[in-house]
Chains A and B, each alone.
Chain A
Amino acid sequence: MWVLLLVPFVGLLWVPFYNFQEPALFGFPFFYWYQLAWVPICSLLIWLVYRSRTPDETP
């Protein structure tokens, strides 16, 4: 599951994935809405890893 944490790095650091204007969404060029979309996706991925791990022992 921990490998999910690397996904946002790939999606955002490989700029040729998203360095163009079309298709636009709600007036936002692709470059902008693609990166904004990664915000909730990243939270979701971290949450999935969080859920799958064994909790800390309570002190």
Chain B
Amino acid sequence: MSAEIDWIALAVFVFFFALVTVMGFFAARWKAGPVDSHLDEWGLGGRQFGTWVTWFLVGGDFYTAYTVIAVPALVYAVGAYGFFALPYTIIVYPFVFAVMPLLWKAAHKKGHVTAADVVLEAHGSRGLELAVAVTGMVATMPYIALQLIGMGVVIQAIGLTGELPIIAAFVILALYTYSSGLRAPALIAFVKDIMIYIVVLVAVVVVPAKLGGYAAVFSAANDAFAAKGGATGLVLKPQQMLAYATLALGSALAAFMYPHTLTGIFASKSADTIRKNAILLPAYTLLLGLIALLGYMAYAAHIKVASNNDVVPALFKALFPSWFAGFAFAAIAIGALVPAAVMSIGAANLFTRNVWKSYVNPGISHAGEASVAKIVSLIVKLGALAFTIFLPTQYALDLQLLGGLWILQTFPALVFGLFTRWFRAEGLLLGWAAGILWGSWTAWSNGLKPLATLDLGGASYVFYVGLGALILNVAVAAIATVIQNLASPRSAIARS
């Protein structure tokens, strides 16, 4: 990447960044509510977001800026295998449609703000509540750090160097999230998503036209992979197929266990809002599939990069005029702000409700909850900022990968409780621990790769660790429940 500052791109970038900053502070007064007097207001935007706001908000924080950088980078590096993000973000929606309206109803009836609140009510276990809350917070931190890394990549592409620009961007983000809560990312998401749509639609029409059409793009990538060798190519190698499918399924089941996606669910106005979004949100998946192909376009455009993450910025700089490259970079940077804000709000809600209220100050008022959450959101973001500045980028990537595996282990506690009370809390807690320990250990001993290998009858099967850990988790929970039922049968009237 050149170190020269591209002034036109920078000017466009700064203009849009300033625009969303003003919007972020203004957001406190949008769909006005008493932001400081109740956590429902600051942390869930007043639980009033209808179909369109939810569509922009969830689309904006589920398809993050890091996705725009990392998915094409992976596709550029390995080809078809990197495309698993596409089946993942398709099959997630039948799941959202079937399950999330039930979760919303459970939360809405009792005024719950977090997943751990719902788990506490369903299973009556403080231990399980804490396990879900801590998993959520720990899995979110490196995810926020990745958003910063995504933002850093485009800021560098404009020619700005050093830590100062990213610190400035983050301080602005922290301040308006503090003052406006979830309303800020919800409002900014409109701008961000429209900008991203424009960038991608232009890119997928203009870039192939400049490069000789999609057939030429795919054939350039095919030649590059043929020269590269190894487990790369336009289709999957036989041994990659199970890994591809299990990564897609495991990621889809994990996606709506994260605090930031659940915050979007809890903030919506009705169960029907969520169902309609399950039908409408796949529009973003189409976008993601097209974004992924930018990785192949880089081959056709003969882009050479030092780090795979630079593929998208380098492609835009090579093929677009400065002003449009600046617009695209602003879209990606603003795209980092929305999920980073929602993630910090989700983590702050968890801390406030399930750590502070449960263990420190049970008698806290609604206004007290809001002010604790506001301060925690600042601390969470400072932590993520320190993470990106002082630790190697690889740590954030590794931890985010482990985070996906960890958050998936909260699935049984959260989702099973919506359908059945058969599982005992102790069993679920034991299953959660087994899944996390086995999964982390396996990933760790494979050099932090998300894949595990199972040898059965001479054949070896490579699959996603998180899904394996989830199966172990459910098995342990079921066996522990059976044993416990035998040892101490519960009375029929214990639960209503």
Interface size grouping (class) on chain B = 35 or more
Q: Which of A12, A31, A40 has the most CB of B within 10 A?
A: A12
Cross-chain contact B83 with A42 (CB below 8 angstroms): no
A interface, size bucket: 20 to 34
- A28: chain B residues at CB < 8 Å are 214, 218
Given the known interface contacts A2-B98, A13-B248, the answer about A27 and B286 at a Cβ–Cβ threshold of 8 Å is: no
Determine the distance from Cα of A38 to Cα of B279 in the docked complex, in whole angstroms: 13
Distance in angstroms between the alpha carbons of A34 and B234 in the assembled complex: 13
Assess the B285–A39 pair: CB atoms within 8 A. yes
Could you tell me the distance in whole angstroms from the C-beta of B230 to the nearest C-beta in chain A? Answer: 17
| Stretch from B52-60, B86-94, B148-156, B195-203 that touches the partner | B86-94
> Is the Cβ of A27 less than 8 Å from the Cβ of B282?
no
Q: Which B residues contact A (CB, under 8 angstroms)? A: 80, 83, 86-87, 90-91, 93-94, 97-98, 208, 213-218, 234-236, 241-242, 244-245, 248-249, 270-272, 275-276, 278-280, 282-283, 285-286, 289, 293
Report which A residues bind B (CB closer than 8 A).
2, 5-6, 8-9, 12-16, 19-21, 24, 26-29, 31-32, 35-36, 38-40, 42-43, 45-47, 49-50, 55-56
> Given the known A-B contacts A27-B214, A43-B279, A50-B275, are A14 and B94 also in contact in the complex, defined by CB atoms under 8 Å?
no
Q: Are B94 and A46 in contact (CB under 8 A)?
A: yes
- Bound: A15/B289 CA distance, A: 17
In the complex formed, the residue of B with least CB distance to A14 is: B245
Q: Please, which residues of chain B bring their CB within 8 A of the CB of A8?
A: 90-91, 94
The answer to whether A47 and B279 touch (CB under 8 A), given A31-B235, A36-B289, A42-B93, is: yes
Closest to B216 in A: A27
Known contacts A13-B248, A38-B87, A42-B94; A29/B234 CB under 8 A: yes
Contact residue among B98, B249, B283 (Cβ-Cβ distance under 8 Å from A5): B98
Determine the distance from Cα of A54 to Cα of B233 in the docked complex, in whole angstroms: 47
Contact of A56 among B208, B271, B276, B279 (CB under 8 A): B271
